[in-house]
Amino acid sequence: MMTSVFAIAGLQAASAETLESALSRAYVNNPSLNATRAEVRSTDENVPRAKSGYRPRVNATADAGLSIVEGDIPASAQSSHQETTRKLRPRGYGVQVDQNLFNGFRTENSVRQAESASLGARETLRNDEQNTLFNSASSYMNVLRDTAILDLQRNNVEVIEEQLRQTRDRFNVGEVTRTDVAQAESRLAAARSQASLAEANLRTSIAVYRQTIGVEPRQLAPGRPLDRLLPRNVDAALKVAFSEHPAIKASLHGVDAAELQIKIEEGALAPTVGLSGSVANRFDNTSFGDRAISASATIQLSVPLYDGGVASASTRQAKETAGQRRLESDSIRDQVRAAVISSWGQLEAARAQILAAQAQVEASETALNGVREEARVGQRTTLDVLNAQQELLNARVNLITAQRDRVVASYAVVQASGRLNSRALGLNVAHYSAKEHFDQVKDLWHGLTTPDGR
């Protein structure tokens, strides 16, 4: 754990931000995560679209026109030849209803496919949530690390400046040579360069923090490892990952959807049965002032005999796609396994690095004190002192980096196990429920307004 918090240069002091509060901000504000939520809501609408195959199609029609008929009436013994003109204004309205009765179970399988796609989209959202929270934790710890390193580098510049001043004083009284002064000047230039690099690294980390979490970092409190959610060992982590990781679950839903597509394509070869009914009211259709009401109901059977091979090719294609999805699922499972093992190894390495870095810092501090005392009595050179100072600086940087890696690695293990989510972390947020939107729209028959009022 980092034992101190370094204020970020150029930022206003404010109440300290904790890692948990930063993750809460990212959970609510991250645009990529919110975009995935919108994508899931869009995918949910495929379910009522598929269910529309069960429902009737109703169309209303209306028409109006003008009919002019001109003709001659032949002469008879009692009358002479006559010309006649007849004008009619035929008009009418009607309603037609078409209802599918059977289409080779294509509607049923389409609904099941849409539901599988929606479930898969939810798992993809969970995986994106994991990635967002992990990236946020990583960016948080990167800002802490780079802030602490910048503070060390700036302090190192001040120490070497003092060392150079003392070396010049000793040179003026003849205790050291010009070479000692040059060595101190060289080391000071290198220290200033490292401080500039550390400042650039911090600015980069701040930019990534802003991109991921949505606000500028202020005063950041120390981050803590996520030990309470860590599995006991790597085997337990693998067991959890194989049963809970959202990427694996999403791929399995993809396999289900692909297999249902096979049945949908096969359904094109089955006969279809439909019912059609209509009612119409006509006026002035054959003579002025007439009116006729007609109604009809028809059951139609259609049996496909040959479609040029389209359905067969589509079925074979769907089978190949299903095979592809199964292979992709196996590949994702292997990727999750590799991620668990890799992150667990990084966690153990970070733990060991912290112990080694702490021992290195203690030894380097002792060595520097000894070298300084020996240099005062002429047993050590200026270069020896500078080298001892650099070793202590490197040891402290290594410790800070190891502490950062320890925290990030713990989050990486939980992410690889599939349990890095807002509820498990106990974030103080309104937890998003993809199922709520699904339940709101799955059985809708009509309406243009989304559940949130748009």
Domain ranges of the chain: 19-51+105-152+201-269+309-426
The Cα 68–Cα 355 span in angstroms is 103
Start-to-end CA distance of the chain, whole Å, equals: 47
What is residue 160's predicted lDDT score, i.e. its pLDDT?
86
Residues facing 296 on adjacent strands: 278
Question: What pLDDT does residue 184 have?
Answer: 86
Instruction: Please list the pLDDT of the chain residue by residue as tens digits (454 residues).
Output: 333 333 333 333 346 889 999 999 999 999 999 999 999 999 999 999 999 999 999 999 999 888 877 766 565 555 555 667 777 888 899 999 999 999 999 999 999 999 999 999 999 999 999 999 999 999 999 999 999 999 999 998 988 888 888 888 888 888 778 888 898 889 889 999 999 999 999 999 999 999 999 999 988 999 999 999 999 999 999 999 999 999 999 999 999 999 999 999 999 999 999 999 999 998 887 777 788 898 999 999 999 999 889 999 999 999 999 999 999 999 999 999 999 999 999 999 999 999 999 999 999 989 988 988 888 877 887 788 888 888 999 999 999 999 999 999 999 999 999 999 999 999 999 999 999 998 899 888 888 888 887 8
Which CATH number is 19-51+105-152+201-269+309-426 given?
A: 1.20.1600.10
Supply the pTM of this predicted model.
0.85
Q: Give CA separation, 389 vs 184, 235, 324, 392, 397, in Å.
A: 12, 43, 59, 5, 12
E runs forming strands in 6-134: 57-64, 67-73, 82-88, 91-102
Q: Which residues contact 326 (CB under 8 A, 6 or more apart)?
A: 255
Provide the 8-state DSSP code for 446: S
| Residues whose CB is less than 8 angstroms from the CB of residue 123 and which lie 6 or more positions away in sequence, other chains included | 246, 247, 249, 250, 253
* pLDDT of amino acid 13: 39
Does residue 5 come out as left (phi exceeding 0), alpha (psi in the -120 to 50 range) or beta? beta
Tokens of 95: 């309603």
Tokens of 223: 């981050």
Contacts of 145 (CB under 8 A, 6+ apart): 205, 400, 401, 403, 404
**Cα–Cα distance between 451 and 437 in angstroms, integer?**
7
CA atoms within 13 A on the CB side of 225: 18
What is the residue type of 79? S
Output the CA torsion 247→248→253→255 (10° steps): 120
